[in-house]
Structure 1
Amino acid sequence: MITSINKRSYPNTLIVILGQDKGKSEYEEKGDITRITDEEGNVTGYNFFNVDQVIDYDKLADGQVKLTNDDLAALNKKLAEVGFNDQLAYGKPTLVYGYVKSYEKHPDSDHLHVTTVEVGHGEEQQIVCGAPNIAQGQKVVVALPGTLMPNGQMIWPGQLRHVDSYGMICSARELGLPHAPQKRGILVVPDNFAVGDAFDPEKCDELLASGQIKL
């Protein structure tokens, strides 16, 4: 689940993204809440309007926000009041440290590689990567499907040159780190970073600034 705010374009509105749209979306309004479903009937999101009546909207900054348990409880209570039966809850983090278990050349590209990346909890994902510095045995930052990147890009499963890819191995620039190098390449983190742990932007940027991690 992703929760975000855009105070200029959508004032006093909380946007909740639960899944990837598949085909034409349908909208159901109840009170100040709109539920969005895809053509298969899956709930893909909610828009909470006049959300300052439910949570402390003024304390939240633009962009992706992490709501407190009290905020989630208040939103779920509002859902029930207007007649929606769904309950909102955060899942495990989607921007995590991963381990490049293997990589091989893409069958239809001279610069892409097909990697197998461990992302924690015994889970592995196939990710197509175009970075020139990708290598087996690296610890990296992985944006799994359902990640909202700092530039507003959503990460969903897809294909690159007809090969399935379930996420993105990130560069420091894609992660929005202030001390990101301007050259191309993924961010490689120290070996003592635990696979599956949530990405810590402040820690990684401090290490970048001090020269302890680099491309």
Structure 2
Amino acid sequence: MLITSYSPKVLGDTLIAITARDEASQRSERQGDIVQIKGKSGQLLGYNFFNASKILSDLGNNDGQVFLSAEQVAALNAAITAAGFTDELELDETPKFVIGVVTEFKAHPDSDHLHVAQVDLGNGLVKQIVCGAPNAALGQHAVAALPGAMMPDGKLIWPGALRGVDSYGMLCSARELGLPNAPQKRGILVLPDSVPAGTPFDFDKAEAFLAANQD
């Protein structure tokens, strides 16, 4: 997994690379402009690259999540090696926002408003997602944010549990996806049935769809 973000207005010329979920106990080591963060077990959690534009001159005006190319990851790994670290970054091009189809929908055993959905994410992958949206229902095609996704507000999505029930990601509302003119109310964004499970979510097309289907 690789999640990268660059927000020069907030953090200056610093690229954040996250490879695993934060741990309560972690340690960091700095060599030059690179800080390596590891968990107590020794698992790599990520790197901070200060003066990042010296390594990646094409970061441009990015502000938020950055989707790196293979060449950019290779450049970061070269800098990591030059700094004396041995844990390299791995390119991750797996879509983190995809269309999911709700194939099973049951009440949560310990909640009066949550539901437990089995969601077809395409390519034979079906995962359980706990959802609290009042409009969620069986058969819907919705946007699933999968582990490794960074939401527009900066929140990272990891596997977890809601009131004791495992949940792999989340089903998203238009507001949570940061779509312009999104309804300011609870409820997942329901897409046409013609969009198959596993289709990478296209934010631009969704914006147009939302504009055309406003009440």
TM-score after normalising by structure 1? 0.93
Alpha-carbon distance in 1 for matches of 2:40, 2:170: 27
Alpha-carbon distance in 2 for matches of 1:53, 1:18: 22
Map Cα deviations across residues 115-173 of structure 1 (whole Å, 9 max, x no partner): 11111222121111001111111111001112110011111122211111111100000
Alpha-carbon distance in 2 for matches of 1:88, 1:11: 24
Percent identity at matched positions? Answer: 49
Counterpart of 1:172? Answer: 174
Amino acid at match of 1:10: L
Alpha-carbon distance in 2 for matches of 1:44, 1:172: 30
Alpha-carbon distance in 2 for matches of 1:128, 1:87: 31
After the TM superposition, which residues 136-175 of structure 1 pair with which residues of structure 2 at under 5 Å, given as runs? 136-175=138-177
Counterpart of 1:16? Answer: 17
Query: 4+ residue runs of structure 1 moved beyond 6 angstroms?
Result: none
Counterpart of 2:62? Answer: 61
Amino acid at match of 1:101: T
Map Cα deviations across residues 37-90 of structure 1 (whole Å, 9 max, x no partner): 112211111101111111125513111111233222211211121122313312
Which segment is superposed worse, 190-199 or 34-43?
A: 190-199
By how many angstroms is 1:23 displaced? 2.2
Counterpart of 1:121? Answer: 123
Alpha-carbon distance in 2 for matches of 1:157, 1:10: 27
Alpha-carbon distance in 2 for matches of 1:66, 1:146: 12
Which segment is superposed worse, 83-92 or 28-37?
A: 83-92
Map Cα deviations across residues 165-213 of structure 1 (whole Å, 9 max, x no partner): 11110000000000211222100111222322221111001011011xx
1:105 is aligned, of 104, 107, 131, to: 107
Counterpart of 2:37? Answer: 36
C-alpha RMSD of the superposition: 1.6
Counterpart of 1:84? Answer: 85
Unaligned stretches of 5+ residues in structure 2: none
Which segment is superposed worse, 156-165 or 94-103?
A: 156-165
Alpha-carbon distance in 2 for matches of 1:24, 1:98: 35
Alpha-carbon distance in 2 for matches of 1:185, 1:137: 15
Alpha-carbon distance in 1 for matches of 2:163, 2:57: 45
Q: Secondary structure at the match of 1:80?
A: helix
Alpha-carbon distance in 1 for matches of 2:14, 2:22: 20
Counterpart of 1:130? Answer: 132
Q: Secondary structure at the match of 1:52?
A: helix
**Contact 1:12 1:57 survives alignment (8 Å):** no
Map Cα deviations across residues 6-55 of structure 1 (whole Å, 9 max, x no partner): 21231111000111012211112222111111122111111011111111
Amino acid at match of 2:158: W
Q: Secondary structure at the match of 1:97?
A: strand
**Contact 1:103 1:114 survives alignment (8 Å):** yes
Alpha-carbon distance in 2 for matches of 1:19, 1:8: 25
Q: Secondary structure at the match of 1:125?
A: strand
Counterpart of 1:96? Answer: 98
Distance 1:106 1:63, change over 3 A: same
Q: Determine whether 1:47 maps to 2:41.
A: no
TM-score after normalising by structure 2? 0.93
